[in-house]
Amino acid sequence: MAGDCSIRALWILNNLDAVVFSRRFPVVEKRWRAACHSENESSGDDPVKYNVFSSLPSDLELAAAFADRKTREGSVRGFGIRVSQSKEGSDSWVDDPITRHIVGFYLNREEEGENNLLWPLALHIKGPYCILILPLVEPKHVKAYARLCKRSDCGNAVMADEKLSSLLLDLPSITGAFMVAYAIGEIVTGDVAEPEVVVSQSPSVGGLLDSLTGSIGISGISRAKPIAAPVASSAPSGAAAVGALAPDVPKSGSRLLDKDALRSFISSAMPFGTPLDLSYSNIFSIKANGFSSLDIPPQDLKQPAWKPYLYKGKQRLLFTIHETLHAAMYDRDEIPDSLSVSGQINCRAELEGLPDVSFPLKGVSTSKIEVLSFHPCSQVPEQNVDKQALMFSPPLGNFVLMRYQATCSLGPPVKGFYQLSMVSEDEGAFLFKLHLMQGYKSPLTMEFCNVTMPFPRRKILSLDGTPSAGTVSNTEHSVEWKIITSGRGLSGKSIEATFPGTVRFSPWQTPRSTSFRSVLEGTTDDDSDNEIENTNNMVNTEEFLMEKMNEDLPPVDLEEPFSWLAYNYAKVSFKIVGASVSGISIDPKSVSIYPTVKAPVELSSQVTSGDYILWNTLGKCPSAVNAKV
């Protein structure tokens, strides 16, 4: 059974912990029962008397188990690592952050005895929904996990014989289950985003459906229901919400679940519970359009399963290099600034037939590319950095051809420092001094550039100061400085912008809700007399205030990189077009298509900011050791 992925059942719960959709796969379940049967027979003399729970829960039971785990683990995802509240037998007892994603439920069924662990459930939270996928594993794996989470000792040693890591390595079904969960998540929330491909001429460039409707000539085809419009979405991945707490609970959403769309997706993607293809656009095209007699299979080749339709029409090839720049700017001697690029090449190949496309990647050797990974359709020769030639047989529609991590070869587009000093408890003086686009030559153009100073825990009363360039505005909890507003792009020159000012806050009030503390707090101890003493030792206002504010700092989720709220920083957001900042590029002339056709190749690039943070030079800042790769 190893090496396969089958789903026993899946459930979708809403934010009221009620099951809104469920699907069970009896064929898989039958295999599970057979496995349980033989396992229970073979382990007759097993010292650990543990009979594997052998039937699926009803929606009611599952919802109860879900709520039960939520209570036991503090939140939907759970603690993840062993904390003082962790109970033996619960997920966090295993002490591994992945238990926030791979969860186990205890079903409350008296007749089944105590051993009613339902594991592994892939948990994916999307919008207001929690998606739970139960893949088929062998009963012995469930037993192994049960032992892990019921061990009475202080936790797993890294070299232990029985580990979660080994289990996960042996269980590709879990990996598959997450793929299913993500696919379903996109459907239930309706934000199926195809990778963006920027096109200069044609205004109507969408995804697969556009190429279909364009080619077949059917204009009024109703698009697959749940998708609002699969137009090029502008949401790049990896741009996390900064400064705000990403709450663990699902956000409330207004969309209603489209059960028909979901049901038909599941029926096609995994008719018997074993996923075959999770491509949403393919499945919905087939469901919606079917095939006509005009769809003729290729003569000598087999049409790939991931390309049910072949393109017909005007041929062209589009590439978009999309890079996201993450930076931590410290402006300190002891901590070097760090700047990293995560990029991807999106592609859209409007080519007839089943051609192979190949081209050499330019700049791979010069721009320090750390990671390259590719779409399954591509064939990667043995990694040879100098001649990184890539060949692929493109699928239909927009797709991500490759991804990479690199360093920024051009240097930071926004460079400088941010200093904030609290002159009193409620007043801060700040100074920005920034260089924009230093060393960036045309055609690199900065379309816009904003700097935001978030103060999520303080209320801004007033703001003084005038920047040397751009405009300033403030909301209750943040100051925004627009250095370059869209429409007046900056190209071919660099500018320097300074912004001295003061910001006044309303007096700090200790939020009296301490409920959040219970989430990750260790031992409860009310050493209030402790702090009284500390006051006297505080050297300056800054530290004192910091200390005071930290008293009520909630613990962050494990999905956050650090406690954003504990730091003062400014976040820069910008967009640069014209070229990549990593130096990676494609020469349109060297792109070759086999069998040869004449098709124009278009290339575009855009760079956006991800977490581009200027840490307050005068305050505390998080850092990490930069390891050489």
Partner 1 sequence: MAEKPPPKPVSPQDWESLTEDFRHGGARREKWSCLYPSLAELALSSILKKEFPFKIPLVIFLDEFSHLLFPSNSLSSLLDRLVEDLRTIVQSPIDGVHITYSLKEQMMVSTTSILISTNSVEVRCTAAVVELLLAVINRPNHGLDRHARAIACECLRELEKAYPCLLSGIAGHLWSLCQSERTHASQSYILLLTTVIYSIVSRKLSISVLNTSVPLIPFNFPEWILGPEKEGSGIGIGLNYKELRRAMAFLLEWPRVLTPFGMMVFMRMVMPLAVALDLQPSMLKVQFFGMINSFHPVLCHVVLIMYSRFSEAFNEKEKDIMRRLLFVSLEMQQSLVFRLLSVHWLMGFLNRFMVHGGDMEKKKSIVKMGFMFYPRLFDPLSLKAIKLDLLALCSICIDSLKARSGSDMFVGEGKSVVKLFQDGLISVSAFKWLPHWSTETAVAFRTLHKLLIGSSSHSEAHPSATNELMESAFYSHLKGMLIDMILEFQRLVPVIVAFVDRLLGCQKHHWLGERLLQTMDENLHRRVVIDYRIVSYFLVFDRIAENKTIPPRKLLELLTKFMAFLVEKHGPDTCGKSWSHGTKVLGICRTMLTHHQSCRLFLGISRLLAFTCLYFPDLEVRDHARSYLRMLICVPGVKLRGMLNLGEQLLGISPSSHSESFFSMQSPRQYQDPKKYRNISSYIHLERMIPLLVKQSWSLSLLPLGAGNKSKSFCGIRDSEASIDERELDASIQFQITSEDERVDKPWVPLYVMDSKVSEILEILRRHFSCIPDFRHMAGIRIKIPCNLRFDSESFNHVWGGESPKSRLHGVEALPVLYATVLKFSSPSPYGSIRSCHIPFLLGQPPVSDYIPGETALLDIDDTYIGSGEEEAYKAPVAIELEPREPTPGLVDVFIETNAEDGQIISGKLKSISVGIEDLFLKAIAPPDIPEDALPDYYLDLFNALWDACSSTSNTGREAFLLKGGKGAAAINGTRSVKLLDVPADSLVHATEHYLSPFIVSVTGEHLIDMVKYGGIVRDIVWKEEALGLLLDANTSGSELNRMPLQLTFTENEDERESQVGINKRSIGCIEILIFLPPMFHILLQMQVSDVSTLVQIRTDHWPCLAYIDEYLEALFLT
Angle, CA of 76, 81 and 87, to the nearest 5°: 75
How far is Cα 613 from Cα 629, in angstroms, rounded to an integer? 23
Determine the residue type at 166.
S
Shortest distance, position 489 Cβ to partner 1, whole Å: 26
Q: What is the DSSP string of 230-298?
A: -PPP---TT-PPPSS---SSPPP--PPP-HHHHHHHHHHH-TTSS-S---HHHHHHHHHH---TT-PPP
Nearest to 600 by CA among 612, 589, 609: 589
Shortest distance, position 162 Cβ to partner 1, whole Å: 8
How far is Cα 393 from Cα 175, in angstroms, rounded to an integer? 25
Are 432 and 467 in contact by the 8 Å Cβ rule? The answer is: yes
How far is Cα 345 from Cα 600, in angstroms, rounded to an integer? 17
Shortest distance, position 176 Cβ to partner 1, whole Å: 6
Shortest distance, position 215 Cβ to partner 1, whole Å: 16
Q: Considering beta carbons, is residue 475 or 534 the nearer one to partner 1? A: 534
Shortest distance, position 173 Cβ to partner 1, whole Å: 9
Shortest distance, position 456 Cβ to partner 1, whole Å: 16
Region for 411 from its dihedrals, namely left if φ exceeds 0, alpha if ψ lies in -120 to 50, beta otherwise: left
Q: Considering beta carbons, is residue 152 or 513 the nearer one to partner 1? A: 152
Whose structure tokens read 């061990």?
A: 151
C-beta neighbour count of 365 within 10 angstroms: 14
Shortest distance, position 22 Cβ to partner 1, whole Å: 5
Whose structure tokens read 């809104």?
A: 20
Are 621 and 567 in contact by the 8 Å Cβ rule? The answer is: yes
Q: Considering beta carbons, is residue 278 or 460 the nearer one to partner 1? A: 278
Q: Considering beta carbons, is residue 380 or 591 the nearer one to partner 1? A: 380
Q: Considering beta carbons, is residue 174 or 497 the nearer one to partner 1? A: 174
Positive/negative CA dihedral, 284, 287, 290, 296: positive
Q: Considering beta carbons, is residue 142 or 601 the nearer one to partner 1? A: 142
C-beta neighbour count of 321 within 10 angstroms: 24
Shortest distance, position 237 Cβ to partner 1, whole Å: 5
Whose structure tokens read 């749940």?
A: 226
How far is Cα 248 from Cα 265, in angstroms, rounded to an integer? 28
Q: Considering beta carbons, is residue 597 or 624 the nearer one to partner 1? A: 624
Shortest distance, position 154 Cβ to partner 1, whole Å: 3
Nearest to 574 by CA among 503, 502, 495, 499: 495
Helix (H), strand (E) at residue 316: strand 316-329
Shortest distance, position 536 Cβ to partner 1, whole Å: 10
Determine the residue type at 150.
K
Shortest distance, position 511 Cβ to partner 1, whole Å: 13
| E strand segments, 490-598 | 490-491, 495-505, 569-577, 585-586, 592-594
Q: Considering beta carbons, is residue 201 or 293 the nearer one to partner 1? A: 293
Shortest distance, position 577 Cβ to partner 1, whole Å: 20
How far is Cα 628 from Cα 221, in angstroms, rounded to an integer? 53
Q: Considering beta carbons, is residue 242 or 437 the nearer one to partner 1? A: 242
C-beta neighbour count of 326 within 10 angstroms: 18
Q: Considering beta carbons, is residue 222 or 293 the nearer one to partner 1? A: 293
Are 494 and 438 in contact by the 8 Å Cβ rule? The answer is: yes
CA distances from 364 to 352, 386, 387, 586 (A): 30, 7, 9, 10
Shortest distance, position 358 Cβ to partner 1, whole Å: 15
Q: Considering beta carbons, is residue 298 or 600 the nearer one to partner 1? A: 298
How far is Cα 413 from Cα 408, in angstroms, rounded to an integer? 9
Q: Considering beta carbons, is residue 23 or 72 the nearer one to partner 1? A: 23
Q: Considering beta carbons, is residue 174 or 581 the nearer one to partner 1? A: 174
Q: Considering beta carbons, is residue 263 or 314 the nearer one to partner 1? A: 263
Shortest distance, position 71 Cβ to partner 1, whole Å: 19
3-state secondary structure at position 362: strand
Positive/negative CA dihedral, 536, 539, 540, 541: negative
What burial class does residue 98 get, using C-beta atoms within 10 Å of its C-beta: 0-12 exposed, 13-18 middle, 19+ buried? Answer: middle
C-beta neighbour count of 452 within 10 angstroms: 18
Shortest distance, position 253 Cβ to partner 1, whole Å: 20
Q: Considering beta carbons, is residue 189 or 405 the nearer one to partner 1? A: 405
